[in-house]
Amino acid sequence: MAKKKRSSKKSFNPYRLLVYIILSAIGYFVYQCGSPRVVGDIDKLEIPASGTGAPGTIIAREGYTLSYNNERLIPNWVAYELTSPETEGDEPRAKHFRTDPQIAGLQADNDDYRNSGWDKGHMAPAADMKWSEKAMDECFYLSNICPQDHKLNTGVWKSLEEKCREYARYFGKVYIVCGPIVSNNKYGTIGDNGVIVPDGFFKVLLTTYYDRHIGIGFVFDNKKGAKKFMEHAVTIDEVERMTGIDFFHALPDDVEKQAESTIDKAVWSK
């Protein structure tokens, strides 16, 4: 009697498939954990190095972190990450500025700004905090505010804020640090508390573009600026020299050097 020919086709084994899936998942997990973390995932990449620039009290908020200068009564810097989804929030703008409950000792209040001739200029703007009721409320603390020229506040500074939201949507996320520049104190102070009026303002941005980290800085005098914000563009290195603040120090040194010493205007002008 002839032997029955054995089929070369293997029967489906669900247990073998299950083992394969589990081993593949373990391998992927090990690979990811063992791989260097991408710079975009570094926690709080936007926070400048501590102990740089003017001394201040560091306060972490829902939507931003700031260094508050207890002598000048304005922030040294305000830093936050703005993502594409956060630009689409619908939280209404808060209506009232108020003192900061986390600031100990003397701080600016509403009376200081009243009839001063200066706007209450947001550093972290309200339109960037529409994704959270808490973030919106906290950006109206006066610790996030500086005396700012009205034409600057409603002009090119506002235009740059709007462009930052476009950058966040285009790149997916952008890291932002902004604040006052105090050098000659040519505008003096306002109010009974003696709130310093900045000589100017800075804003620095960092993002990724095709796996490349790019950065740009902006510097404005505290007065009406040029109509186009790109006319105020400088390298981040230049802003560091003006302010004494070390931005994006968590980046690898070679990446930080490249991002802070050059400007790819073709990309930032998109």
The residues that are catalytic are: 122
Of 54, 89, 95, 263, nearest to 179 by C-alpha is 54
What residue type is assigned to position 104 of the chain?
A: A
Q: What angle do CA 145, 219, 122 make, to 5 degrees?
A: 15
Residue type, 80: Y
Rounded CA separation 63/81 (Å): 8
Q: How far is CA 266 from CA 22, 181, 218, 222, in A?
A: 46, 27, 16, 27
Q: Which two tokens stand for residue 33?
A: 């954990």
SS3 content of the chain, % helix, strand, coil (to 5): 35, 25, 45
What whole-number distance in Å separates Cα of residue 38 and Cα of residue 48?
Answer: 19
What are the backbone dihedrals phi and psi of residue 87, each rounded to the nearest 5 degrees, phi first? -80, -10
The Cα-based distances of 124 to 121, 141, 162, 270 in angstroms read: 9, 11, 12, 23
